[in-house]
Amino acid sequence: MPDPPAPQPRPIVGVKLPTPLLVGPKARDDFSWFKEDWDDYVTIQGVTSKPDDVQVALFRTALGADGKILLHNQPTPIDPTTNAAMDITKVSTLMKMLKIAVVGEVNETYETYVFRTRVQKETETIDEFVTILRELVQTCGLCEHESMKDKFIRDQIIFGIRDAALREKLLQERSLSLKKCLDVCRADPGQGHCRRCRTDGGKQSGKGHVEGISQEGSRWSQGDEIWAWISSHYRSRLDW
């Protein structure tokens, strides 16, 4: 006898469809939020276990009137690997059509290059650096699935962080998630609120020195004497 079909996951009561997409001045940002909310909804409600026509119906319902109009006016994209029209009975195709309509055609090769070569600037905190990476990863084509974005952002932090010693510390971590990566970076004295010490505190020279503290390359010394100096000069200005 054939095996009985696997039980279908039950929908979780109280989890609603994403807020419909609105077309307007902030459509590009709204699309990013819509896609993220849709991916979460798919995961929570087990949407991928349903037939394709049901998935498409849920997706179109979640889009709302503005999104449906965009899809209706958008030509079917061509699959570059087969040079044939993509299957519009798949949600992935409809999402791609919607992205093209809202964001426009994207040169993914160029966008990927921009993402891969983005490194932390001298005046950026780790949170400012990650905010930029989150924006760039949206259009670079590396992450067709939302779950992959954290992995690529984590890897780019390691590649692009300006502190070589901190990079080495991150590389020694096992099972390094994005959250753990950020926790390690934020705990580092040179990555958080002490940016203000470097940029607007003390007397700076053209070579990137603050009087009383030497900077070697792009890495700041983290010895006890340095932090004693910072504490005595800037304690009143820092959020301890």
pLDDT in tens, 9-29: 666 777 889 889 887 777 777
Query: Is the domain of 31 the same as that of 94?
Result: yes
142 has a pLDDT exceeding 60: yes
238 has a pLDDT exceeding 60: no
Rounded mean pLDDT, 134-163: 84
Q: What is the DSSP letter of 219?
A: E
Query: Is the domain of 48 the same as that of 70?
Result: yes
229 has a pLDDT exceeding 70: no
Identify whether 69 is part of a domain.
yes
Query: Is the domain of 51 the same as that of 79?
Result: yes
Query: Is the domain of 124 the same as that of 165?
Result: yes
Which one is predicted more confidently, 205 or 89? 89
Identify whether 200 is part of a domain.
no
Rounded mean pLDDT, 127-145: 81
pTM comes to 0.46
- pLDDT, residue 15, reads 85
Query: Is the domain of 84 the same as that of 144?
Result: no
Whole-angstrom distance, CA of residue 45 vs CA of residue 11: 5
Q: Domain range spanning residue 181? A: 109-187
Identify whether 222 is part of a domain.
no
As a dihedral over the C-alpha atoms of residue 60, residue 94, residue 144, residue 9, rounded to 10 degrees, the angle is 40
Identify whether 169 is part of a domain.
yes
Whole-angstrom distance, CA of residue 198 vs CA of residue 123: 8
pLDDT in tens, 98-135: 888 887 766 778 888 889 999 999 889 999 999 999 88
Give backbone dihedrals phi and psi of 220, rounded to 5 degrees, phi first: -95, 140
- Output the average pLDDT for the chain: 77
- pLDDT, residue 103, reads 75
Q: How far apart are the first and last CA of the chain?
A: 69
Query: Is the domain of 177 the same as that of 113?
Result: yes
What is the CATH number for 125? 1.10.1200
Which one is predicted more confidently, 12 or 186? 186
- pLDDT, residue 144, reads 62
Residue 222: pLDDT band with limits 50, 70, 90: very low
pLDDT in tens, 156-184: 999 999 999 999 999 999 899 999 999 99
- pLDDT, residue 7, reads 60
- pLDDT, residue 237, reads 41
- pLDDT, residue 24, reads 76
Query: Is the domain of 164 the same as that of 120?
Result: yes
Of 62, 82, 105, the residue that ends a domain is: 105
* Total number of domains in the chain: 2
Give the burial class of 105: count Cβ atoms within 10 A of its Cβ; 0-12 exposed, 13-18 middle, 19 or more buried. Answer: exposed
- pLDDT, residue 231, reads 46
Q: What is the DSSP letter of 135?
A: H
Of 84, 105, 126, the residue that ends a domain is: 105
Long-range contacts of 39-42 (CB under 8 A, 24+ apart): 39/145, 39/146, 41/15, 41/17
Query: Is the domain of 34 the same as that of 46?
Result: yes
